[in-house]
């Protein structure tokens, strides 16, 4: 065989899985259809929030705390800043499910946090507007990750551990055999004992049976140039998540002393396949985003300085597909807009599964089989 493990897709999770498997002594070949770093992946976009207080559910908290330690360890051994310790402020109605889940995730967790009432939000963080009956939960373990720097460092570690990472390599087919798996590329075939598929928006093309479970959604990212960037410095303005009526925002303090990034749930139509994604926002779309952002963060201007459109793959329950599909195929996909922060936990789990090791965390909530259709009785 050419390798013990083939990893298809060298985004964040795939690169981490390749690194960890190689660290365990496995012969690893990683395949990426584009350059090793590119802006078509779900990780692209300069920054990602890290939250320990998690409105997606308390069962994530142990994975998040472990991932935070791993991110800090990765930064210590590298050359780039990866984790900015800014805290994350979640703002919303106290009765909103998101805030209830955030508080539930904090219960008994030991996560350093503070709950602010509306008056305290207004006094401490005047950058935020239209504060009505809302509360804020400041997660002091939260922060901002730099995804491009992180993926570059993960890949460097993978190479040091002995993994072979091949870019500009298109995968045509994955075929299981009696003794292993054969991956056919445009350049030939590669045989291995196991394959890990972390191909993001391209997963359905490689694993058609998963196509009905995955939806490619556009993600709008925008940057604004405030009159006073100092008021958006991390020392006075933590990263934030804001749910106000139908509007959902997440934002990052200025990382360069100039621009402030705000992500916006644009609720745009899904796309059928990755190449159909329109990467540039229309003027109408930019104006809508700017209007809503300025309404909730009025010290940001009502005009977008820079914008881009990215994509991620979502499942119906917005929970990743992470697990074994067959004897030879392991998959990690459908991260649903919140996978990057969990890269260390997810990547470790993928490597463990491929190497027949017991994963550290319970993967039952992520099992692809949860969507299996019950057999029809004869």
Domain with 234 in it: what CATH number? Answer: 3.30.9.10
**Are residues 295 and 226 located together in one domain of the fold?**
yes
309 strand-pairing partners: 220
Q: What is the mean pLDDT of the chain?
A: 95
- 4-11: average pLDDT: 98
Residues 6 or more apart in contact with residue 41 via CB below 8 angstroms? 11, 12, 200
Quote the CA–CA distance of 365 and 342 in Å, as a whole number: 14
**Are residues 126 and 101 located together in one domain of the fold?**
yes
Total domains, the chain: 2
Domain boundary among 314, 342, 357: 314
Write down the pLDDT at residue 38: 93
Domain that holds residue 234: 77-145+215-314
What is the CATH number for 23?
3.50.50.60
**Are residues 187 and 232 located together in one domain of the fold?**
no
The reply to whether 26 falls in a domain is yes
**Are residues 356 and 221 located together in one domain of the fold?**
no
Other beta carbons within 10 angstroms of residue 51's beta carbon come to 27
pLDDT digit string, tens, across residues 21-66: 999 999 999 999 999 999 999 999 999 999 999 989 899 999 999 9
pLDDT digit string, tens, across residues 326-353: 999 999 999 999 999 999 999 999 999 9
The reply to whether 70 falls in a domain is no
Quote the CA–CA distance of 240 and 86 in Å, as a whole number: 10
**Are residues 162 and 297 located together in one domain of the fold?**
no
pLDDT-derived band at 377 (thresholds 50, 70, 90) equals very low
**Are residues 17 and 87 located together in one domain of the fold?**
no
The reply to whether 170 falls in a domain is yes
**Are residues 178 and 166 located together in one domain of the fold?**
yes
The reply to whether 72 falls in a domain is no
pLDDT digit string, tens, across residues 68-118: 999 999 999 888 999 999 999 999 999 998 899 998 899 888 999 999 999
Taking the model in full, what pTM does it have? 0.96
Q: Is the dihedral of CA 363, 353, 180, 186 positive or negative?
A: positive
**Are residues 304 and 242 located together in one domain of the fold?**
yes
The reply to whether 377 falls in a domain is no
Domain boundary among 284, 314, 344: 314
Write down the pLDDT at residue 244: 93
**Are residues 268 and 119 located together in one domain of the fold?**
yes
Smallest Cα–Cα separation from 61: which of 362, 370, 364? 362
The reply to whether 152 falls in a domain is yes
**Are residues 150 and 138 located together in one domain of the fold?**
no
User: Residue 222, CB half-sphere, CA atoms under 13 Å: how many?
Assistant: 30
- 285-304: average pLDDT: 97
Write down the pLDDT at residue 375: 33
The reply to whether 66 falls in a domain is no
**Are residues 110 and 159 located together in one domain of the fold?**
no
The reply to whether 58 falls in a domain is no
pLDDT-derived band at 374 (thresholds 50, 70, 90) equals very low
Q: Does the pLDDT at position 12 exceed 60?
A: yes
Residues 6 or more apart in contact with residue 71 via CB below 8 angstroms? 50, 82, 83, 145, 150, 344
**Are residues 226 and 309 located together in one domain of the fold?**
yes
Write down the pLDDT at residue 376: 32
Domain boundary among 292, 314, 336: 314
């Amino acid at each position: 065989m050419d390798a013990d493990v083939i990893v298809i897709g060298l985004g964040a999770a795939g690169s981490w899985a390749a690194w960890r498997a190689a660290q365990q002594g496995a012969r690893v070949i990683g395949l990426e259809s584009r350059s090793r770093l590119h802006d078509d992946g779900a990780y692209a976009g300069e920054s990602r929030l890290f939250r320990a207080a998690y409105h997606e559910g308390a069962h994530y908290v142990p994975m998040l705390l472990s991932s935070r330690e791993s991110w800090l360890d990765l930064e210590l051994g590298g050359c780039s800043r990866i984790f900015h310790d800014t805290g994350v402020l979640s703002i919303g109605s106290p009765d909103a499910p998101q805030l209830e889940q955030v508080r539930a995730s904090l219960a008994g967790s030991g996560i350093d946090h503070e709950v602010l009432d509306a008056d305290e939000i207004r006094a401490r963080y005047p950058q935020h507007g239209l504060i009505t009956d809302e509360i804020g939960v400041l997660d002091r373990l939260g922060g901002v990750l730099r995804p491009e720097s992180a993926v570059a460092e993960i890949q460097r570690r993978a190479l040091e551990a002995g993994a072979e990472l091949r870019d500009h390599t298109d995968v045509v087919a994955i075929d299981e055999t009696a003794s292993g798996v054969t991956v056919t590329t445009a350049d030939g075939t590669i045989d291995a004992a196991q394959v890990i598929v972390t191909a993001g928006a391209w997963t359905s093309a490689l694993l058609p049976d998963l196509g009905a479970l995955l939806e490619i959604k556009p993600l709008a990212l925008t940057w604004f140039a405030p009159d006073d960037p100092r008021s958006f410095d991390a020392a006075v303005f933590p990263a934030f998540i804001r749910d106000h009526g139908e509007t959902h925002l997440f934002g990052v303090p200025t990382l360069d002393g100039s621009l402030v990034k705000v992500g916006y749930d644009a609720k745009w139509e899904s796309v059928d396949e990755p190449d159909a994604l329109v990467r540039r926002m229309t003027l109408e779309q930019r104006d809508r985003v700017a209007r809503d952002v300025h309404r909730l963060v009025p010290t940001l201007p009502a005009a977008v300085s820079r914008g881009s459109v990215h994509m991620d793959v979502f499942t119906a329950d917005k929970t990743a597909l992470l697990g074994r599909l067959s004897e030879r195929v392991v998959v990690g996909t459908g991260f649903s807009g919140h996978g990057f922060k969990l890269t260390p936990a997810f990547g470790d789990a993928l490597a463990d599964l491929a190497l027949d090791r017991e994963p550290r965390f319970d993967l039952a909530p992520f099992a692809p089989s949860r969507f299996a259709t019950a057999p029809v009785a004869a």
